[in-house]
Amino acid sequence: MFAARKRILVTGGGGFLGSHLSRLLLSQGHEVLCVDNFFTGRRRNIHDLMDHENFEMLRHDVTFPLYVEVDAIYNLACPASPIHYQFDPVQTTKTSVVGAINMLGLAKRLRIPILQSSTSEVYGDPTEHPQTEAYWGNVNPIGNRSCYDEGKRCAETLFFDYHRQHKLSIKVARIFNTYGPAMRPDDGRVVSNFICQALVGQDITVYGQGTQTRSFCYVSDLIDGLVRLMNTPPQITGPINIGNPNEFTIRRLAETIIAMTGSKSRIVEKPLPSDDPRQRQPDITLAKELLGWRPAIELEEGLMHTIAYFDTLLSEEGKSIIPDNA
């Protein structure tokens, strides 16, 4: 934890992860400057924070320079689901790369620490399993997902170059599949897709035979890991994997959600998208050793909270918020 109150900038603060991070930082007594252009963030995610005396909201796109006075930066700004980051791939790359340059420039001017929310996508379709931070990845540089994968890889390069060249205090977290309340129902990720489909009785779409695996980390665990990483000594830079190492097939996830919701939904198979990773599992040895961190919430407990969130959301906003191709 920080020893004293800090004014902390959270880019992407209106998004899924950013809103949870902002809420935790406020609970620790810090001031939060939340920056978001609301391309994928939602105002309802931070509605309960708007009247908080230590919370400030600024609508801004990180691809443009930002001139503020803060004590630390969490750089979370970037669409993180395939549907959204492929909608405008050029802007996605600019958000990762130009956004990183702008936030690093701000951190350099202020001489403050900055944390980058990188991703397990930097490993691509891995040939090493589970993935350690030393693994360089197996990424297609010209595919449909490359705007995100390579954008995040380039951002990591920039962070470490600023660290080496300008002695900037950096932290890089490689985030694995995360889920929980405040996810968008239309973000195209499997947890939100399956839950929304199950709640309204739609067929649950599995790509391929559903044998590909993922490791799902509940959002509160992930946010705890980010804050622990930010508060490590300067010599700890990362990258550090933050995710739940318990591995599940996509089909098992679908079956679990059907059972937990009591849904009549059927599982239907569709062709695999291009460059879809077959396996994804973090090696979290470094996180345990350097951060004293390990996930505390297992899948069924996390799904229970997430199902309740989407059940309320669908009752408030209606079935129409679920895309036809979810």
pLDDT digits (tens, 9 = 90+) for 125-183: 888 889 999 999 999 899 888 888 999 999 999 999 999 999 999 999 999 999 999 99
Among the listed residues 123, 148, 162, 179, the single catalytic one is: 148
Asked if the peptide bond before residue 271 counts as cis, ω within 30 degrees of 0, the response is no
Residue 316, pLDDT score = 81
Active site residue 218: no
Cα(179)–Cα(243) distance, integer angstroms: 11
69-104 per-position pLDDT tens digit: 999 999 999 877 677 777 788 989 999 999 999 999
Contact indicator for 210, 271 with CB cutoff of 8 Å:
no
How many degrees, rounded to 5, is the angle at CA 307 between CA 188 and CA 262?
A: 105
**How much is the pTM?**
0.91
Show me where the domains of the chain are located.
Answer: 7-176+219-242
Question: Do 82 and 140 touch, CB atoms closer than 8 A?
Answer: no
Check if the beta carbon of residue 76 is closer than 8 Å to that of residue 18.
Answer: yes
CATH topology of domain 7-176+219-242: Rossmann fold (3.40.50)
pLDDT at 111 over 90: yes
Q: Is 18 helix (H, G, I), strand (E, B) or coil?
A: helix
CA 73 to chain centre: 16
pLDDT score of 252: 94
The torsion angles phi and psi of 35, rounded to 5 degrees, stand at -115, 130
Eight-class DSSP state of 57:
E
Neighbours of 174 (CB within 10 A): 24
CB atoms within 10 A of CB 268: 12
Ranked by mean pLDDT, the top range of 58-72, 76-90, 201-215 is 58-72
Half-sphere exposure of 196 (CA within 13 A, CB side): 27
